């Protein structure tokens, strides 16, 4: 009997592999088993842009600068084609990093009004270079949490981190999103929720006085805003609303420890040797 069961399992596996799986019948068990988990158990991966000095590019000939990299799963997407993204919520913080010569790595988060941030700014001798008394660096970071969707219809929760040269991209994106207003039937106007539109994230090569690097190019996933609207009953809209709620309730967090996994840039986001 055991041998027969094993054979049947292998046959089923062969049938399922590479084919569309029918998930009907699972509805009543959706999310079951995860009820007791907190943000300590569940962390969202980052979507990073691979650069010329990214470890993945240096170690694997099949990977190229400009590709989009999932820091937890290792998945790769072409930067020219890009990936659909529905933003759910944002955060503006200062991230504390241990210098590379001291082992490197994530050391914590500080809110923008934290006294240690004000103290670091007061001591700063160079714009954008913030250091704590312990020698760790503070990097201004704007996060966008949301739902990514590839062209095969696979969705995933993910985080985007905007630092240095990327912050301008973030500001332009949020300005575009917040200045849109919808006219209601009674004549009033409202700002739509952040997750009411689909965007497409691609990458573009840029230059500054330190060299060439890849940055985000963020546009609507269609010819205009109207073509990318998500209705409240849309699965992507619902997924984005759900992750926003999870983050607000403290039941999810970004996988900060993996934030630099695909990084080939220095602490200021310009080409150079990573320092954390």
Domain membership flag for residue 7:
no
Does any domain span residue 27? Answer: no
Determine contact, residues 244/87, Cβ cutoff 8 Å: no
* % the chain with pLDDT above 90: 55
> What pLDDT does residue 202 have?
97
Q: Residue holding tokens 């095969």? A: 152
| pTM (two decimals) | 0.81
Report helix, strand or coil for 64: coil
Lowest mean pLDDT segment, chosen from 5-9, 115-119, 240-244 = 5-9
Closest to 219 in 3D by CA, of 199, 198, 197, 238: 199
CB 141 within 8 A of CB 159: no
Contact 236, 86 (CB under 8 A): yes
Residues whose CB is less than 8 angstroms from the CB of residue 232 and which lie 6 or more positions away in sequence, other chains included: 238
Judge whether 17 lies within some domain: no
Task: Match 């809209």 to its residue by tokens.
Answer: 237
Report the alpha-carbon distance of residue 206 to residue 52 in Å, rounded: 13
Going by C-alpha positions, the residue among 219, 187, 225 that lies closest to residue 204 is 219
pLDDT of residue 259: 85
Tokens of 125: 């001798």
Please indicate, yes or no, if residue 120 is contained in any of the structural domains. Answer: no
Domain range spanning residue 178? 44-88+146-258
Find, among 110, 106, 134, 131, the residue nearest to 121 by Cα: 131
Structural domain count, the chain: 1
CA distance 136 to 124: 13
Please give the radius of gyration of the chain, using alpha carbons only, rounded to the nearest integer: 21
Domain presence at residue 51: yes
* 115 in any annotated domain: no
DSSP character at residue 45? P
Neighbouring residues of 139: CB distance < 8 A, sequence distance ≥ 6: 94, 95, 97, 130, 163, 164, 267
pLDDT in tens, 129-179: 899 989 999 999 999 999 999 878 889 999 999 999 899 999 999 999 999
> Which of the residue ranges 194-198, 224-228, 235-239, 260-264 would you say has the lowest mean pLDDT?
260-264
Does residue 98 form part of some domain?
no
Q: Has residue 201 been placed in a domain?
A: yes
CA–centroid distance for 184 within its chain: 32
Distance, in Å, from the CA atom of 15 to the CA atom of 60, rounded to the nearest integer, reads 32
Contact 113, 129 (CB under 8 A): no
Residue 110 has pLDDT above 50, yes or no: yes
Reported as a single tens digit per residue, the pLDDT across 3-32 is 333 333 333 233 333 444 555 566 666 656
Across the chain, mean pLDDT equals: 82
Please give the angle made by the CA atoms of 189, 176 and 187, to the nearest 5 degrees. Answer: 10
Average of per-residue pLDDT across 258-273: 53
Eight-class DSSP state of 89: E
């Amino acid at each position: 009997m055991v041998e027969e069961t094993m054979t049947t399992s292998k046959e089923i596996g062969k049938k399922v592999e590479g084919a569309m799986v029918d998930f009907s019948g699972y509805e009543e068990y959706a999310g079951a088993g995860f009820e007791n988990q907190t943000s300590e158990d569940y962390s969202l991966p980052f979507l990073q842009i691979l650069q010329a000095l990214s470890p993945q590019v240096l170690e694997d000939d099949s990977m190229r600068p400009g590709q989009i990299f999932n820091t937890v799963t290792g998945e790769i997407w072409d930067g020219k084609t890009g990936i659909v993204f529905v933003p759910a919520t944002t955060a503006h913080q200062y991230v504390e990093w241990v210098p590379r010569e001291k082992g490197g790595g994530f050391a914590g988060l500080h809110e923008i009004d934290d006294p240690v941030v004000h103290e670091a700014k007061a001591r700063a001798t160079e714009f954008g270079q913030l250091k704590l008394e312990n020698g760790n660096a503070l990097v201004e970071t704007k996060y966008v949490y949301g739902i990514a969707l590839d062209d095969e219809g696979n969705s995933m929760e993910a985080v985007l981190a905007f630092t240095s040269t990327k912050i301008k991209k973030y500001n332009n994106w949020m300005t575009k999103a917040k200045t849109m207003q919808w006219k209601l039937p009674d004549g009033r106007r409202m700002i739509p929720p952040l997750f009411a539109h689909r965007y497409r994230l691609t990458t573009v090569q840029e230059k500054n006085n330190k060299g060439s690097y890849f940055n985000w190019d963020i546009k609507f996933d269609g010819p205009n805003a109207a073509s990318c609207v998500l209705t409240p009953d849309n699965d992507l809209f619902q997924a984005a609303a759900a992750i926003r709620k999870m983050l607000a309730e403290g039941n999810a967090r970004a996988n900060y420890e993996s934030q630099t996994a695909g990084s080939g840039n220095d602490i200021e986001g310009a080409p150079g040797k990573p320092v954390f």
